Amino acid sequence: MRRFARILTVSLALCHAAMCFVVMTPNAHAEGARKLKVGVYDSAPFAYKDELGKWTGIAVDLWQAIAKNKGYDFDFVEVTRKEAVPQLAKGDLDVIAAGLSVSLERELLIDFSQPFYASSYAIAVIRKPLASIESSLLHVFLSWKFWAFVLSIGFAFVLVAILMWYFEGNENPEYHGPTKMHSIAYGIYWSVAMMTRAGERAPKTVPGRIIGILWLGAAVFLAGSFTASVTTALNVERLSRKIYSERDLPNAYVAVMPGPCEKLLEQMNVRHTTCSGKKDCYSLLSQGRVDAIVGSEPTLKYYAARNLKGELDIIPMDFSEVLYSIGLKPKSALAEEINLAVLQITSTPAWTEILKQYLQH
């Protein structure tokens, strides 16, 4: 009898605990049974409107597959990129299916599903064809920097010629011309010959010899500087681009969309301006008001392929990683179901085809 009473007591306690658990724990089926509000915003290739005004994209297709798999009824709710996370955090939305990347700031406000796509940030720069060597040489030789360098060398020749005439005029017969200009002209000839090492006569006076030694050293330096300057100018003119990797960003001025990428540029001390949309960023770049655009690699590639074919080069930033996930409201009862569905769907061949559809052009 006592044994039966114990069993009955334990059974009642277990039933009471189970009832409390059911009452206190959100019911995922009840949550999924109502019509869900799914936030979307323009973030191609993850979410955007097609020609018919229908929402499509990687994240949209994924969510539709999840909803079909779990039997969710839902409506798309169009929001701006800026207001999406705050609305989800307040519970005005149940899910965000767009180009939502995982970040610490967002993690403190909302929950994320398992990541469905991993990428990196990238740099978009105007593509410029490699200039021909002939046009590059012409541009260099017509530049004011080139002629300023030539004139400075010419001034040095004249200065050395005057000094040599002054010190060598009485001792060296070569400087005994009919006029002072003839003597100075010989001095210019001597300075050019020394610079080219043509083996002209050595000066006879001590000051002349000192000037000769100094001029010989200066001539080597000037010849090397001239060659290096022309070579560098040719390379710059032919390549004609300021940014080749993320290491060049601190010396550039770039455009960026609001979000985690903006924080990254602040940490790198990169001068930047924040755009209100992709079109604004590309407008600034095409006008030459910024050196590059920094953003997510898939977004930059997609927009460049669809709208600016052949006009942009996309340079991945090696040290950055971006994870894209479905956004969930805090403590969502659907989290476990959605996570499982994401893992199942992204492991199928059909998911590979979806990625090819939006990312390969």
Residue ranges per domain, the chain?
34-119+323-359, 133-239, 243-316
**24 pLDDT higher than 50:** no
User: Quick check: do 34-119+323-359 and 243-316 share a fold?
Assistant: yes
**215 pLDDT higher than 80:** no
Domain 34-119+323-359 fold: D-Maltodextrin-Binding Protein; domain 2 (3.40.190)
H helix intervals, the chain: 2-24, 28-33, 58-70, 81-90, 104-107, 133-141, 144-168, 180-195, 206-239, 260-267, 278-286, 297-307, 335-345, 349-359
- Quick one: pLDDT at residue 161? 72
Give the pLDDT band (50/70/90) at residue 340: very high
Top CATH class of 243-316 equals alpha beta
Task: Decide: residue 152, CB within 10 A, 0-12 exposed, 13-18 middle, 19+ buried.
Answer: exposed
> In this structure, which amino acid lies at residue 73?
D
Token couple for 195 = 């610079």
CB contact at 8 A, 332 and 93: no
Backbone phi, then psi, for 101, in 5-degree steps?
-95, 150
- Quick one: pLDDT at residue 19? 41
Pick one of 3.40.50.300, 1.10.150.120, 1.10.287.70, 1.10.287.130 as the CATH number of 133-239: 1.10.287.70
**357 pLDDT higher than 80:** yes
- Quick one: pLDDT at residue 14? 41
**CA-CA-CA-CA torsion sign (114, 119, 120, 121):** negative
Give the pLDDT band (50/70/90) at residue 132: low
**163 pLDDT higher than 70:** yes
Give the pLDDT band (50/70/90) at residue 12: very low
Per-residue pLDDT of 300-321, as tens digits, reads 888 888 776 668 888 999 877 8
More confident residue, 23 or 169: 169
CB contact at 8 A, 259 and 43: no
More confident residue, 287 or 55: 55
- With residue 316 as reference, give the H or E element that holds it: strand 312-316
Per-residue pLDDT of 101-127, as tens digits, reads 999 899 999 999 999 999 999 999 987
